[in-house]
A and B are shown apart, each in its own frame.
Chain A
Amino acid sequence: EAGVTQFPSHSVIEKGQTVTLRCDPISGHDNLYWYRRVMGKEIKFLLHFVKESKQDESGMPNNRFLAERTGGTYSTLKVQPAELEDSGVYFCASSQEWGGSYEQYFGPGTRLTVT
């Protein structure tokens, strides 16, 4: 079974540009989460999808961040326009909603550098 995949693995962009990160969850997982780790700090929650609906987006830092999950499969996280403080590693995770499987399975992350 394929794990959570994320694309790209690295992205270097200039301040003011737009970047779109993609996450493909484990097949059949209704829950999809985005997290971010800024250098040396804790991994922070951004938002949570249940299928295509946003269950909790309390962690989204501001309106420059837009997450979508059309059709309840893969998700994208767009940053527009990017700022220096957006640099960090963006993780995606997925989990099954029902059936007792509570673990969140994480992807390898996308390292975003804004210069």
Chain B
Amino acid sequence: AQKVTQAQTEISVVEKEDVTLDCVYETRDTTYYLFWYKQPPSGELVFLIRRNSFDEQNEISGRYSWNFQKSTSSFNFTITASQVVDSAVYFCALSEVWVGGATNKLIFGTGTLLAVQP
């Protein structure tokens, strides 16, 4: 069965600190996608990144970076020099790939609430 675990329920940091959000997944599929979504206080889920199972290259986008390691089934997310606006709930998600290439349902973790204090 597919499962996503975000062991960190809440994290509190002071502005400008670096913070890493952990994500561990389980799947029997050899082809799958991993995602991170951000849920700010306004409530909507904002897509941050998609990574397929064949691409283990780390990715950096501004202050955000992602570390995908198949050997440990982890897809961790690091925010460098955190800002108050980064305060949100962050969800990691996993998806199988069905015929046609488009992803099917997302399996979410329970989310990590990040509070960045000024």
Q: Which residues does A use to contact B, with CB under 8 Å?
A: 31, 33, 35, 40-45, 48, 55-56, 59, 89, 91, 93, 95-98, 100, 102-109, 111
Contacts and interface: CB of A to CB of B under 8 A. Distances in A.
A96 B47 CA distance: 15
A35 B106 contact: yes
A41 B110 contact: yes
A31 B102 contact: yes
Interface string B20-61: 000000000000010101000011111100100000000000
B104 to A, nearest CB: 7
24 contacts: A33-B106, A35-B108, A42-B4, A42-B110, A42-B111, A43-B108, A44-B108, A45-B105, A55-B104, A56-B105, A91-B45, A93-B106, A95-B103, A97-B100, A97-B102, A98-B101, A102-B102, A103-B35, A103-B50, A105-B47, A106-B37, A107-B44, A108-B43, A108-B44
Contacts of A35: 106, 108
A109 B43 contact: yes
A108 B44 CA distance: 4
